[in-house]
Amino acid sequence: IKIERAELRLVHLPLLTPFVISTGTMTHKTFPLLVLRGEGVDGMAEGVMDPLPDYLEETIAGALDLLRNAVLPRLVGLRIGSPSDIAPLLAPWRGNRMAKAVVEMAVWDLWARSLNQPLCHLLGGVRDRIEVGVSLGIAPLDVTLDRIAEAQAQGYRRVKLKIKQGHDLTLLAGVRAEFPDIKLTVDANTDYTLSDLPVLRGMDAFDLDYIEQPLAFDDILDHVQVQAALNTAICLDESIRTAKDARIALQMGAARVINIKVGRVGGIAEARAIHDVSAAFGAPVWCGGMLESGVGRAHNIHLATLPNFTKPGDTSSASRYFARDIVNEPLEATDGLMPVPPGPGIGVTLDHVALDAVSEVIEVWTA
């Protein structure tokens, strides 16, 4: 397929509820959206980098610069036989995996649509709906208890609580007093250090399925010490950018579970490689989220149909995040199961009226 046109937009979508994690508060989801066209079909993807580098190093400004100046001018006009054909365009540039993922994922969607195949079929997915839970931001105990009760009533398969220093063991005791049996996890988004080992060890008392990313975003080695000191499994998110990172982390015992976010690791090829190396180590993976719009959400759902995604992911109903999404298809879970949107590619189409109201076109390239 020949890539005939690329349109890069910046989308600014208000969140229904501010999302609070240890590193800060999000009130809007701002992201670059890339739409590629070829042979009469559109392929699309969104970026998961933030306005400021508070989750990982990449920023929206940096990503737009790389895409506009280095990648997209060379992508448009290219004829590809499969998504791996764009690798030479991305390989020269160091890091910037979130920016690269936007391009790679849009090419996969375009390719799948040109073949009239759902993306999950081309990936080797093994299910047509995925198990999902909710990720609950930092809030007082009473608010958290109400949110858990609501998630339980809606059938979500696990609850992940955001924690930070000083908002951890007491919160967990309060939650376990009300909900002794729910599948529960916590995510520290890097807020602890090795000197907090006693607090982390205290979490063993709460029957957590795993503790996500307790230490620094660029650490693997110190997590080995945490994992060795705890009964609870450690899950790595920020620390894992590549299949090599995953291999080293699992080999050294830094974690027993991996959170795969396709937008974090540079795209579908790297996400599959992380999935495969984790399976080889007998380590389950699950699909994380970055509060994506329907475009990124649909990509996540398709990826999570791969066989080793055996723990519930973060891809909950779009209506939990946004009053109005930018895609036409509702992405809603029932009984904790999110159906794969059917149809070619990622299975969703842009709602252009909704999109125009919340976005600006940054640049368009044509062959």
Q: Provide the binding-site residues for ligand OSB, judged by CB under 6 A.
A: 21, 55, 135, 187, 189, 237, 288-291, 314
Listed residue (65, 64, 59, 57) closest to 34, CA to CA: 64
Q: Which residue type is seen at 304? A: A
Q: Closer to ligand OSB by CB, 43 or 214: give it.
A: 214
How would you classify residue 155: left for phi > 0, otherwise alpha for psi between -120 and 50, otherwise beta?
A: left
Between 89 and 303, name the residue whose CB sits nearer to ligand OSB.
303
Q: Are 21 and 189 in contact (CB under 8 A)?
A: yes
Q: Is 187 in the site for Mg ion (CB under 5 A)?
A: yes
Residue of 29, 100, 160, 162 marked active site: 162
Query: Nearest distance from residue 323's CB to ligand OSB, in Å?
Result: 16
Binding of Mg ion by 237 (CB under 5 A) = yes
Nearer to ligand OSB, 1 or 291 (CB): 291
Assess whether 311 carries a catalytic annotation. Answer: no
Question: In terms of CB distance, is 114 or 189 closer to ligand OSB?
Answer: 189
Minimum distance from residue 37 beta carbon to ligand OSB (Å): 28
The interface region with Mg ion, picked from 33-41, 212-220, 247-255, 355-363 by CB under 5 A, is 212-220
Which of 29, 164, 261, 311 is an active site residue?
261
Kindly state whether residue 209 participates in binding Mg ion, applying the rule CB under 5 A: no
Our CB check for ligand OSB shows the closer of 110 and 285 to be 285
Closest approach of Cβ 243 to ligand OSB, in Å?
19
Q: Which does 291 bind (CB under 5 to 8 A by kind): Mg ion, ligand OSB, none?
A: ligand OSB
Taking the complex as a whole, the smallest distance from the CB of residue 4 to ligand OSB amounts, in Å, to: 32
Cβ–Cβ under 8 Å, residues 9 and 32: yes
Assess contact for 86 and 103: CB atoms under 8 A: yes
Structure tokens at 174: 């309060």
Rounded Cα distance between 287 and 279, Å, is: 14
For the residues of 109-176, what is the DSSP string, one character each?
HHHHHHTT-BHHHHHT---SEEEB-EEE-S--HHHHHHHHHHHHHTT-S-EEEE-BTTBSHHHHHHHH
Q: Is 162 a catalytic residue?
A: yes
Interior CA angle at 311 toward 123 and 265, to 5°? 50
| CA 179, chain centre distance (Å) | 27
Give the shortest CB-288-to-Mg ion separation in angstroms. Answer: 6
Tell me how far apart the alpha carbons of residues 264 and 2 are, in angstroms, rounded to a whole number.
Answer: 27
8 A C-beta contact, residue 135 and residue 289: yes
Residue 219 makes contact with Mg ion by CB under 5 A: no
Q: Of 7-15, 181-189, 297-305, 331-339, which part binds Mg ion (CB under 5 A)?
A: 181-189
Contact positions toward Mg ion, by CB under 5 A? Answer: 187, 212, 237
Q: Which residues are catalytic?
A: 162, 261
